[in-house]
Amino acid sequence: MSTIASSPAIPRPRPYRRSLNSTLHTRFVHAALISLLIALNNAFWLGSNRGASAQLFVRNDSLILADLFWSWFPFGPAGIKALLFFISSLSIFFLQIATLKIGRWMTTSPFAVFRTIALSKTTVWTVFWYFWSAIFFTEVYVWSSPDLSWTIPGSHNAPEMLNEKPIFFRLYAQLLALTYAGVHLYLGNSSLIIPISKLPSTPSPEGNAQSTHPIRPVQIQLQQKLPGAVMRSAVCAGLVMVAAPFLNTLFFRRTLWHIHLTIAKIWSNLSRANARPTGIPPLGPTYLARCLFAGFLLALTWELTAILFSTYLSQEPTKAGLPLSNTSKDPNGTLLTGLRAKRDVVRTFAFWELAIIAQKHKDRRKTIFEDIERPTGPIWAQMSEAGLKILQEIDTRILGPAPKQPQPQADSTVTGLPHIVPEVQTQSIFQANPKPTVGESLVLSPLRHIGSSNQPWRPPIEETTKAVEMKLLEYARPPGADQVQSQSLIEQWTMSLQKSPIGWFFTSTKTARINVAVLGSPNDDAALIVDVIDSITKMLVASLTEDTYGKATPTVPETVRQFTKTLTTIEAFVAKNDISKSGGIEEVEIITERLRAGLKELLAAFQLYLLDVGLGIADLNQAKKAVEPPKSEPQQPKPVEQPTRRQLFAKDTQKEDTNPQRAQQRQESRRIEPSQRSSGLQRKPSTSRNARQQPRREMEQVR
């Protein structure tokens, strides 16, 4: 029995996100270990009442040394408390992983940023995880401090009372958590900010090529960010401490007291004297200072956790100096899945890796050019298509979506056969409706029209609302003002709001519109765009010497066209908005410079092959024109004032007249005046002698 041998199925490449997640998990572990040291620091200062600061007055030196040793030794009570404090940092790590984004918030106005943040799930998760972190930190601190127990033990003449000190500290920690949730959203601590570098002035050799992202070492970044973190922690903790006693006394004291009393009654026998709080809260300056110090450590824990996460995870996608996809059995296929990914984090790191390959790894470039036997086509053609799609998105954001071309429809008219018999006249077999009376025409007809209409509120109700709106506009118009134009009430209120002192919060600036159109929204894609431009340019230039089969050259014409279109579109959009004086578009200018440099490099490298590979002369001329730097507008020269002849017997009013039109009329009259006063005398061609006699003749005529 013969069997047909079926061709083996091509295995799917490993997704790029798996390689990326593996690397990010390793970096997350490094950041978590450092945050564990921060938790051990919190355990040393807050976790034990037998710390060094509490035993300064103990005379036994051996007890002091023992307490100092066990207050920081990790394999003991301090280590257990450090693990409990570490859960607060771990909560913030979970939040940052769940809401991880690339780039800064990018919207047209501050109100748009507020609306985007307030109506997103990120805000809910941020508030939840900060509340949970504060709750866990508070309970560990309360559990470690004997004077912060739920109740105050009574004596033979005093009943057991509810302790109000931990109630206040829990409120203070929650207010601090709410404050830092807003700081987290405002600063974008869940976003990886990948900086982009300007174009180098001099080209660098391949081995020392300048990276598109100037990432500094982790130690240097931590040293630079630490002072700002300490300052923000101190300021936030201090401001919340100022407001917490007032909020507690005015709003939350009784409610929190009843909640704690209900929980404390489970294991304590409290008397009716604890039914409600009485007197002034027992919060002395010493206890408030303790709360302030604990709040400062909590805020510093949140700050350092966010800094560690963003610093470690924003490193370049390499492992032991090699691209991440090298660990896969199909490196090119794995990298292609990352370039086509929908999630911005995976796609940004994939193009960053492609830019690194184009700059530093010659062997890997050759494997990409030689990978041409895939069912979907050469691998480089697919990578180039994925990169040019990013640039096409910029054109779409600026120019809008391209109009859809109408599809040709087949002629659906059917020509029938000629009629042999004339058509039968169709007549209604029902009796005609009787003529309505006057009452029916006045009442039933409008009701029948409203009931049978798809939109019964139009037009009667719409006309009524328009009339009411016009009346409101008349009342809102100040006395003596012109007639109100054809603007709706909402539009006029919006214009007045934008002109008010708080209008900056709702106003969209030209700089913001340019950044949103070019970089994208709600998060900017500046790092992604720069990597696309640099990787495609470097790969195509390297294909001249490294592409054995010449499969990369056919992608050059489409690349040149797309670079040209994107460059001219961005420059025209920026020139249209005219923000040369205000600035604020540094990243857009970097993208424009890299587009121009990349296009110039491609034209110089493929100048002998562009027409042969399918680039038209018109496209080539347009590309050469786009490469030229924009010329600055020439300054118009100031008009030179012509010297006016001083005329005898001129009036003072004429001398003082500075109107240019009158001056021009006087000059013309002066040119005509001598000929009119000559009384028919014809002048001969001017000579040097006549020129000297001319003023004398005019004086004689005047006399």
Distance, CA of 432 to CA of 437 (rounded, Å): 15
How far CA 218 is from CA of 31, 222, 311, in Å, comes to 11, 6, 6
Q: What angle do CA 689, 691, 696 make, to 5 degrees?
A: 95
Q: What is the pTM of this model?
A: 0.76
How many of the other CB atoms lie within 10 Å of CB of 31?
A: 22
Q: What angle do CA 17, 90, 523 make, to 5 degrees?
A: 50
Please compute the mean of the pLDDT values over residues 628-642 and round it to a whole number: 58
296 and 337, same domain (yes or no):
no
174 and 233, same domain (yes or no):
yes
Distance, CA of 270 to CA of 484 (rounded, Å): 71
User: Is residue 42's pLDDT more than 60?
Assistant: yes
302 and 346, same domain (yes or no):
no
Helical segments of 47-203, H only: 61-72, 77-98, 110-118, 121-144, 165-187
The pLDDT tens digits of the residues spanning 518-560 come to: 999 888 999 999 999 999 999 999 999 999 998 999 999 999 9
* Residue 453, SS3 per DSSP: coil
User: Is residue 133's pLDDT more than 90?
Assistant: yes
Domain boundary among 627, 658, 688: 627
8 Å CB contact between 339 and 383: yes
CB burial readout 644-661, b (16+ within 10 A) else e: eeeeeeeeeeeeeeeeee
User: Is residue 200's pLDDT more than 90?
Assistant: no
Distance, CA of 92 to CA of 462 (rounded, Å): 52
- Residue 258 inside a domain? The answer is yes
Look at the chain and report how many structural domains it folds into.
Answer: 2
Q: Characterize the bridge pairing of strands 101-102 and 191-192.
A: parallel
- Residue 496 inside a domain? The answer is no
The reported pLDDT for the residue numbered 474 is 60
- Does an H or E element contain 631, and which? none
- Does an H or E element contain 307, and which? helix 285-313
249 and 125, same domain (yes or no):
yes
Reported as a pLDDT band with limits 50, 70 and 90, residue 672 is very low
Q: What is the CA radius of gyration of the chain?
A: 40
Distance, CA of 681 to CA of 483 (rounded, Å): 65
The pLDDT tens digits of the residues spanning 51-74 come to: 334 444 444 566 667 777 777 888
Q: Choose between 684 and 665: higher pLDDT.
A: 665
Phi, psi of 155 (to 5 degrees): -125, -170
Distance, CA of 620 to CA of 320 (rounded, Å): 42
Instruction: Write out the residue range of the structural domain in which residue 338 sits.
Output: 329-399+510-627
Distance, CA of 687 to CA of 256 (rounded, Å): 110
User: Is residue 414's pLDDT more than 90?
Assistant: no
The pLDDT tens digits of the residues spanning 375-388 come to: 999 999 999 999 99
158 and 28, same domain (yes or no):
yes
Domain boundary among 598, 627, 656: 627
The reported pLDDT for the residue numbered 76 is 84
